[in-house]
Structure 1
């Protein structure tokens, strides 16, 4: 069976058969996806994490399909319905839908009117009708009278029920109708009478219609939400007359005879009572599944770019969690993320408002700790707080900048068990200010402490399958963490949990060992950690970094299995480990031939390239290439905006219909898909990603609705 499943996976995907086989074998050997992508490139042909996961998921789907086929075979054998024809049909079926269509006529179900009619001996009469006999019906119906069936009408109605059920269960015809609805039907939504929609959230869908085959995923989810909240009703529109005529012609029931009339009635009943409702449920489910997958994929892509935003490491940062009534919480952290001081000020509207005192506190903290940056959360009172900080910078001539930080999920973290354990003596709001500061300093290390779906970079994330969302987002976080690598001496338990090969238990044990024995000085010391066995060590160690340790190779992505080859190479080039990272050595290594080295040391070519790259830039952080956040000293208001104005902004979220951009005013602006490129694009992610710094032009400003329309394309009246 395994060989058969592999063949089907290979047929479905564009990868080479040997790549699919290699990936599956590596997974069966308990290797993690990050480990395979980084350290088994020769075996997979350098497939990345996404490709490896696609193979793994497809294999699992095919495995489940095969198990379902076996279950159905067992059921049919029990019913004594198993035939060579069914065996061949199941063997050729490529999708779960096809398999279920084959099994549908034999599926055990509650007793139907058709089943009762068959029990009363009316099936031969129904088959007689479908055969279009030359005799008149009056010559036959009396033969089927019994204690249960006493009239001609009951005989005919029983036959109609049997014909109706047959219509709904014919596999090829059912598939034709399904395709007909998909290709030519429309999905429509209308507002329910008496429905309440105070903010007109679903106004666009009060009278809405769109072809099924082209409806975008975000509209499917929007309509689904409207239906769930009892504002909208959804229906499918398609040519039922065409479909019914198809069945009538196929049954040769077009003549004006009593027999044809009964067949037509059976067809009509089968379509309206059974087939249409069943197929509409299937289509609704398929639309929803596709829409959810799209939403999850976009959320994952946004999260990935958010996690890989450039860190502002080595800076003393003041985090500000804005608020009105309870005041703005402040937290100063040093260059390592350690909390130096916590405070609260009241610069915004509240009974305790005291702007002069608040300004003085900011000045004191900046001067006392040599603060270099202020991170302001983008929640309630964010723009008022931004205005206040801007005034402080100007008034006191402070040599600092500020930036707005997306604080989505900060409150979730602040109230979590992890935050309580880290800062047991602090209030929830004070922990939030620390989180905001740390997000600027190292987004990845801080964001992994938060449930991925709470970080606010998705669309309709609460409307999709939460299980599938969590699985997908965990994969994204794992990919990001392992691409960057983790400093084992500073990483939190939450960060270590995402490292290849580690579990929540081994992550806690690493931190416990570190606290008891002091910082790790070399990678092999991790072998002493409780419950970190040989396999886990092999999978994890390449992603764990030790800076300023005994062996400079421990700060690179080179796996210890390749240390001997790396050291021989350096010795051959007369380079000491201590010289790694210097300009001269990096230039020397850059001129070496990876192909020759691979042959000399019996290494794979891709592994050799990775070793040379790591030796040239030991301790490198791939996020350094990402764009740094926009730093500001003054504030912009919505009233300052004019059509055509040119601005810089940060992409905060990418959705199916566009991207939201922070341009430094209270409300993020929207760049619609149509305003992104002169070329045709299918999705905004082809042009922008979360965290990108972009130049935009103001297209329209609606002060009343607090909406800003932006364009990535220059527009008239540029200011």
Structure 2
């Protein structure tokens, strides 16, 4: 374990002391949010993102070591496993390298090379390779007669190729260098399969395509692999400017692979090169091509998952509108517009359905009910889902507000995932007697109030802010997105007296069961008045309390510090700080003058540690602060309702719905997102679109191109 700590220390450029501390904290069951927030002295202030990477690498190295021990144990009874191979296994840095070394020893069935060896062709293969024998038909025939091998020269030479191919393609050094060679100098090509042009129209950019492997972006790799999976495209990799076996892979120890004592120079003979070229085409290139495509896929999946994670984080951390009374509207034509009015805490006040659009056109009746609901429940905002009939509903609502002089405003919001929530067990438990469509309207209204609190109830994969999310490993994606939600929830903090089970379950140290216990305790006892009271909840012991307490907020409770992010373990220190100024602890809250004095007195409290002391002062300065930005909304152009209404040169306002490696998608209110390509984000080079735009951001754009047939909108960003 000490070796692992040293390796992690080097990789993350931290002292081994910090590396040891972090491993110990993880082994003790501490969560990433807790360590990142309350154990900065032990980590040197490492961020939650770096701690996630540290944890993943630590787990990888632990699993790698276990696999090494397992393989070395299996090789004890393998006479062919030399000490040199075993040492290479001990020194292996990756799982791929380790499995390459072990591959020759884990055959599950007889290979063609094995069959050739059983026929006695191993000496012939070595003789031809070393130049002692030619591979002419007559020479091979003579060798077969001399050694009483009763097969034809043609079959014998096929066996020679199999023996040599296996020897070369089982060598871990050759495989490693071969992958490096293809990744560095390879050319990735694709072509459309015969008869698939019409079916694969969406892949037409790749019907005749090639690009250096090292330059292919992640999103293109996933597109190509999807085309391959759908049997539209044929993919291949070859070396640029070179044919046959690469000379960079001509290792001088190939003879040892054939159990020969003969030595060989770097300068291989013409015969040896000829056989290497046969091996390259016969077996090695296909194996390396498969390995490199797998590496590209893995890299692209990691990139796609990171894009999804970044977008999800931006969406969850979007500005909350706050505690307003909201009317949620889930628009539709034939099935009507579903309505749900909620109060400042998200509780359902009223609900209904109106049919203002075709085919019913009951507009007058709809306006009467809307007016009644808005006035009766003192609605401040109307949140309209951005699906079918959203613009028509928005137009209706804004005209009604103006005509009836209603004291509220209307806004279109993303309804991604609302239908998933409405049919989920969580929604059924919350509103067992309501129709699924009404539950959807409630979700739309609540996410306007607080996106984070509502979106945690939905499977992150259903929110739809990813790039090729359906092409990546589901378990890896789920883990990554779960981490994002956990980090966001703990960064914002949770009001324990208002939070749902879904929200509480993401708090550091709390399981779904304990979250349910907290809600049950609230329902039975009433308001929770202090963090200390949490210890009365079933399942919250010392370790659980340590991990969760700092992230749970109690407003207007018995202990004023409970509404801040100061951990209860630091309350004695805060009281000591207050005593130093002849104040009470609660008198430090929002007291800039006192906190400035304490900042100057930092050396007096050195035992707390610089990170901890600074964090405490920041929390006392703004005890109920929310790290999310201020709320802002886009004003869609009411004259632009459909794709056909768009014209090149128009300047419009929209909302960023998705950010990918190649640009950003923007909702303009026409039921089809437009794309700002990365080259159109600014008049300067942009490496990462997220440097300029985030999901939920309101942006001004100019329409560059409208392709109605392909439903594509090209945009240029203004003023970023």
Compute the TM-score of the two structures, normalised by the length of structure 2: 0.92
| CA gap 1:532/1:151 in 2 versus in 1, 3 angstroms | same
Unaligned runs of 5+ in 1: 254-258
Q: Are residues 1:390 and 2:398 paired?
A: yes
Q: Displacement of 1:357 after TM fit?
A: 1.2
User: 2:701 and 2:152 mapped to 1: Cα distance?
Assistant: 78
> Match for 1:404 among 382, 406, 412?
412
Provide the secondary structure at the position in 2 that maps to 1:620. coil
Q: Displacement of 1:103 after TM fit?
A: 2.4
Moved more, 668-677 or 634-643: 634-643
> Match for 1:475 among 451, 468, 483?
483
- Structure 1 residues 406-461: Cα deviation after superposition (integer angstroms, max 9, x where no partner): 11111111000110010011000000000000000010010000001111111111
**Residue 84 of structure 1: aligned partner:** 83
Moved more, 64-73 or 400-409: 64-73
Moved more, 381-390 or 537-546: 381-390
| CA gap 1:617/1:487 in 2 versus in 1, 3 angstroms | same
Query: Is the 8 Å Cα contact of residues 192 and 233 (structure 2) preserved in structure 1?
Result: yes
**Residue 227 of structure 1: aligned partner:** 228
User: 1:66 and 1:309 mapped to 2: Cα distance?
Assistant: 42
Moved more, 154-163 or 107-116: 154-163
Provide the secondary structure at the position in 2 that maps to 1:525. helix
- Structure 1 residues 304-330: Cα deviation after superposition (integer angstroms, max 9, x where no partner): 111111111121111000111110000
Provide the secondary structure at the position in 1 that maps to 2:470. coil
User: 1:511 and 1:472 mapped to 2: Cα distance?
Assistant: 27
**Residue 239 of structure 2: aligned partner:** 238
**Residue 258 of structure 2: aligned partner:** none
Query: Is the 8 Å Cα contact of residues 387 and 635 (structure 1) preserved in structure 2?
Result: no
Moved more, 39-48 or 598-607: 598-607
Q: Displacement of 1:297 after TM fit?
A: 0.5
Q: Are residues 1:695 and 2:696 paired?
A: no
Moved more, 95-104 or 240-249: 240-249
| CA gap 1:73/1:367 in 2 versus in 1, 3 angstroms | same
Provide the secondary structure at the position in 1 that maps to 2:597. coil
Q: What is the number of residues matched between the two proteins?
A: 704
**Residue 289 of structure 2: aligned partner:** 280
Q: Are residues 1:600 and 2:611 paired?
A: no
- Structure 1 residues 656-712: Cα deviation after superposition (integer angstroms, max 9, x where no partner): 111012234443321110011233222211221112222333333344544332212
Q: Are residues 1:614 and 2:619 paired?
A: yes
Q: Are residues 1:67 and 2:59 paired?
A: no
**Residue 321 of structure 2: aligned partner:** 312
| CA gap 1:248/1:662 in 2 versus in 1, 3 angstroms | closer
Q: Displacement of 1:589 after TM fit?
A: 3.4
1:320-719 matched pairs, under 5 angstroms: 320-350=329-359, 352-576=360-584, 579=587, 581=589, 585=591, 587-594=592-599, 596-597=601-602, 599-600=604-605, 602-623=607-628, 625-630=629-634, 636-637=640-641, 641-713=646-718
| CA gap 1:172/1:248 in 2 versus in 1, 3 angstroms | closer
**Residue 256 of structure 1: aligned partner:** none
**Residue 195 of structure 2: aligned partner:** 194
| CA gap 1:140/1:378 in 2 versus in 1, 3 angstroms | closer
Provide the secondary structure at the position in 1 that maps to 2:202. coil
Query: Is the 8 Å Cα contact of residues 390 and 635 (structure 1) preserved in structure 2?
Result: no
Query: Is the 8 Å Cα contact of residues 675 and 711 (structure 1) preserved in structure 2?
Result: yes
Provide the secondary structure at the position in 1 that maps to 2:334. coil
Moved more, 451-460 or 154-163: 154-163
- Structure 1 residues 152-211: Cα deviation after superposition (integer angstroms, max 9, x where no partner): 444444323212222322333333332222222222222222337558322222222222
Q: Displacement of 1:642 after TM fit?
A: 4.7
| CA gap 1:130/1:488 in 2 versus in 1, 3 angstroms | same
| Root-mean-square deviation over aligned CA pairs | 2.7
**Residue 41 of structure 2: aligned partner:** 42
Provide the secondary structure at the position in 2 that maps to 1:242. coil
User: 2:73 and 2:679 mapped to 1: Cα distance?
Assistant: 54
User: 1:216 and 1:151 mapped to 2: Cα distance?
Assistant: 50
Provide the secondary structure at the position in 2 that maps to 1:111. coil
**Residue 58 of structure 1: aligned partner:** 57
Query: Is the 8 Å Cα contact of residues 577 and 598 (structure 2) preserved in structure 1?
Result: no
Q: Displacement of 1:553 after TM fit?
A: 0.6
User: 2:143 and 2:566 mapped to 1: Cα distance?
Assistant: 86
Query: Is the 8 Å Cα contact of residues 419 and 431 (structure 1) preserved in structure 2?
Result: yes
1:176-191 matched pairs, under 5 angstroms: 176-191=177-192
Q: Displacement of 1:632 after TM fit?
A: 6.7
- Structure 1 residues 536-561: Cα deviation after superposition (integer angstroms, max 9, x where no partner): 11101111111111111111111111
Provide the secondary structure at the position in 1 that maps to 2:220. helix
| CA gap 1:523/1:245 in 2 versus in 1, 3 angstroms | closer
| CA gap 1:221/1:313 in 2 versus in 1, 3 angstroms | same
Compute the TM-score of the two structures, normalised by the length of structure 1: 0.92
Provide the secondary structure at the position in 1 that maps to 2:685. coil
Provide the secondary structure at the position in 1 that maps to 2:166. helix
Query: Is the 8 Å Cα contact of residues 588 and 594 (structure 2) preserved in structure 1?
Result: no
User: 1:403 and 1:550 mapped to 2: Cα distance?
Assistant: 39
User: 1:82 and 1:589 mapped to 2: Cα distance?
Assistant: 71
User: 2:556 and 2:184 mapped to 1: Cα distance?
Assistant: 63
User: 2:525 and 2:249 mapped to 1: Cα distance?
Assistant: 82
| CA gap 1:527/1:554 in 2 versus in 1, 3 angstroms | same
User: 2:648 and 2:119 mapped to 1: Cα distance?
Assistant: 78
